[in-house]
Amino acid sequence: MSLTAEQRTALIDRYERGPALLAAAWAKVPVEARQWRPGPGRWSAHEVVVHCGDSESNAMLRIRFLLTEDSTRIQAYDQAHWATVLDYHTLPVEPAMAAVVAVRANTVPLLRRMTEKDWQRSGVHPESGAYGAERWLQIYAEHLEKHTGQIERNLEAWRKK
């Protein structure tokens, strides 16, 4: 079912607020807790932020491919594999956070001027099948909110350890 213009506007507003939420959560994490993992196979706050930089960069390309290519195939990637192979703990957080801010600042104006026809564009994701612009917006409007919560839960668990 298609979203209404009002629903899309609300999601775009959430998308736009995401970087500030992520930065605020990160700022609360003491230096000594930033690379602490809440359990095996779980990400530290540091890894979460670096993931967000990579994920948002991929998202930026996904929406652009959806808008410019007919029947585009959306590139999938294994985020856990990226975190391991790229050794997220060795990558700096500041450029990852800057990427999140820049990508979203560059994408919000694009989203705000999309037409009804643009919102109906679709491609194919190899894991989830049909993947349209509205689905993209739903996923990424909440993406940084979810990871903000993850950082907050990590901090709470770290304090209780």
Mean pLDDT per 10-residue interval, the chain, length 161 residues: 93 98 98 96 97 97 95 92 97 98 98 96 90 95 98 97 83
Residue 102: predicted pLDDT: 98
Whole-number pLDDT of residue 71: 85
- Fold topology of 12-24+41-160: Four Helix Bundle (Hemerythrin (Met), subunit A) (1.20.120)
Q: Considering the entire predicted model, what is its pTM?
A: 0.95
Q: Domains of the chain: which residue ranges?
A: 12-24+41-160
CA distance 54 to 83: 10
Is residue 114 within 8 A of residue 132, CB to CB? The reply is no
DSSP string, 58-96: HHHHHHHHHHHSTTPBPPP--HHHHHHHTTGGGS-HHHH
Contact 3, 114 (CB under 8 A): no
